[in-house]
Amino acid sequence: DVCNETKSALQLLRSIFPTDKFSPGFPPIVMKHQLYAMVQTRSDVEKALDMMMEQGMVRTFCLAPHEAELAIVFTEDYVSYVRQRTSQSLLIESFVDKVVTPFWDLSYSHAFLTRQLEFQEADISELVRAGLLTPRNEPSRWWIGVPGSAGFARTLIRGRTALLQMLRRSKHRELPRTEVESSRLPRSTKLGTAYYVYDAIGSGLVACVKTTSGDILRLRE
């Protein structure tokens, strides 16, 4: 089943996310392209994610500065984190009820937030301060945000860079996957080597070559 394969991949990536390395309650984040390293057909991933978003199981986010790379968070993890992190309980519940639960858009316009959802200017300012809305380059439009995600974005890039450097230093710019996954990356790369391997394969930076003796990770550059 297409949806089950993608859901299983999401659950695996969620399970290896080191939540203890981030602020309390920070939700496991899966990069959409990581699923491409686990599910054979990209269209199957798109189809399954659409179904899961319609069912309210997951949400997608654009995390600055790499807005082309979509992040996925299970809705229950996101809502739990938002409630735990913020003190403006009435506004937060309104945000969850009016935005998070019924819609799965990546961004929202000022007109939509104020006219259709009836948020006040002060509400929008508070949601921006809380990191639940983040300004887009486009005027009067906001991404829905994951508070504290800037630290995640930084360590994602650090780990990706460290993994690519490891392959560049190898003799043929390739290494057995088991060797890579058992290697220790710098302490500043919090997410774990396996997480970065899925990231590098799914983003097309590294090729995973099947051999009789196991997978080989080969730099594409």
pLDDT category, 138, cuts 50, 70, 90? Answer: confident
Same domain for 109 and 174, yes or no, is no
Same domain for 126 and 66, yes or no, is yes
The answer to whether 192 touches 16, Cβ cutoff 8 Å, is: yes
Same domain for 97 and 156, yes or no, is no
Same domain for 14 and 103, yes or no, is yes
So what's the pLDDT on residue 195? 97
Same domain for 28 and 115, yes or no, is yes
Same domain for 73 and 13, yes or no, is yes
The answer to whether 134 touches 145, Cβ cutoff 8 Å, is: yes
Domain-terminating residue out of 110, 144, 178: 144
- Domain with 209, as residue range(s), is 149-219
What percent of the chain has pLDDT above 70?
97
Count how many domains the chain has. Answer: 2
Same domain for 81 and 50, yes or no, is yes
Residues 61-69, mean pLDDT to the nearest whole number: 75
The mean pLDDT of the chain is: 93
Same domain for 89 and 37, yes or no, is yes
> Using one digit for the tens of pLDDT, what is the confidence trace for 2-32?
789 999 999 999 999 999 999 999 999 999 9
> Using one digit for the tens of pLDDT, what is the confidence trace for 32-58?
999 999 998 999 999 999 999 999 999
DSSP 133: E
Same domain for 51 and 153, yes or no, is no
Q: Is the pLDDT of residue 137 over 90?
A: no
Tell me the β-bridge partners of 207: 218
Rg (CA), the chain: 19
Domain-terminating residue out of 79, 111, 144: 144
Same domain for 100 and 20, yes or no, is yes
Domain-terminating residue out of 118, 144, 170: 144
Same domain for 54 and 118, yes or no, is yes
Cα(130)–Cα(133) distance, integer angstroms: 8
Cα(200)–Cα(162) distance, integer angstroms: 11
Q: Is the pLDDT of residue 65 over 60?
A: no
Same domain for 157 and 90, yes or no, is no
* Helix 149-169 × helix 193-202 angle, to 10°: 80
In 3-state terms, what secondary structure has residue 177?
helix
pLDDT category, 88, cuts 50, 70, 90? Answer: low
